[in-house]
Amino acid sequence: MEKMPYREELDMRVAPATDDNVVSTDWRSGLPALAGQMVTLRELRASDAASLFALLTTEEVSRFISPPPTSVEGFEKFIAWAHRQRQAGQYLCYAVTVKGYDTAIGIFQVRDLHSGLDTAEWGFAIGSPFWGTGVFEDAASLVLDFVFDTLGVRRLEARAAVQNGRGHGALLKMGAVREAVLRQSFAKNGRHLDQALFTILERDWRAASTVGKEVPQTRIH
């Protein structure tokens, strides 16, 4: 999801996001926390804005995604927007935290591509100090379990610029299949870049899990 669904300049509503860590079996009323071996994924909070601004606006993180918010206040607006979209059942965004700490060091996003979440798109951004540590794989496995088990997604898509080798490697590591090249589908810094389309099918994720793939167990609490 390199083309971010949120655009700060179009979001004129300033609604504060709650800091409550809501626990519910209905994800539209509050995302359940997901615990892995290295990370815990939880609902975004307004207080995450400062760490997300510091970690996700660096050149190495933002070079292949739509421009992130340009201020802490902008991230606060994004978080409030994410809560509204989740309540509408159209989009969700998890904060990534490392076990033992509650600071958000990245995000995972999922949005509905067709009514009913049969087909969805996911995207992610992790602060570069945590690249190559295993944090991505642990968090991604939790998200994929949640997407297929709880949301009922059948086909999960991702788009990554052809030049984004790290993003391609991350997706392939999770079992994604490269299906196509979308020519000049992504605008970035005045240029139009080609993107590769990757997919993971629910049946393939389950098949990989049953043949010994190590997937952290999702625990909702």
% of the chain beyond a pLDDT of 70: 84
> Which of 3-12, 81-90, 190-199 has the weakest average pLDDT?
3-12
Average pLDDT of every residue of the chain: 87
Structure tokens at 124: 């992610």
Q: Tell me the residue length of the chain.
A: 221
Cβ–Cβ < 8 Å for 110, 92: yes
- What pLDDT is stored for residue 28 in this prediction? 95
Any idea where the domains of the chain sit in the sequence? 8-210
User: How much helix, strand and coil, in percent to the nearest 5, is found in the chain?
Assistant: 35, 30, 40
Find the mean pLDDT for residues 108-119. Answer: 92
76-79: long-range pairs with CB below 8 Å, 24+: 76/16, 76/17, 76/46, 76/49, 77/8, 77/11, 77/14, 78/6, 78/8, 78/11, 78/49, 79/17, 79/44, 79/45, 79/46, 79/48, 79/49
Find the mean pLDDT for residues 141-156. Answer: 97
The rounded distance, in Å, linking the Cα atoms of 82 and 93 is 7
The rounded distance, in Å, linking the Cα atoms of 10 and 98 is 32
Q: Which residues pair with 191 in a beta bridge?
A: 188
> Which of these CATH numbers, 3.40.1190.20, 3.30.70.360, 3.40.50.1110, 3.40.630.30, describes 8-210?
3.40.630.30
> Which of 71-75, 205-209, 210-214 has the weakest average pLDDT?
210-214
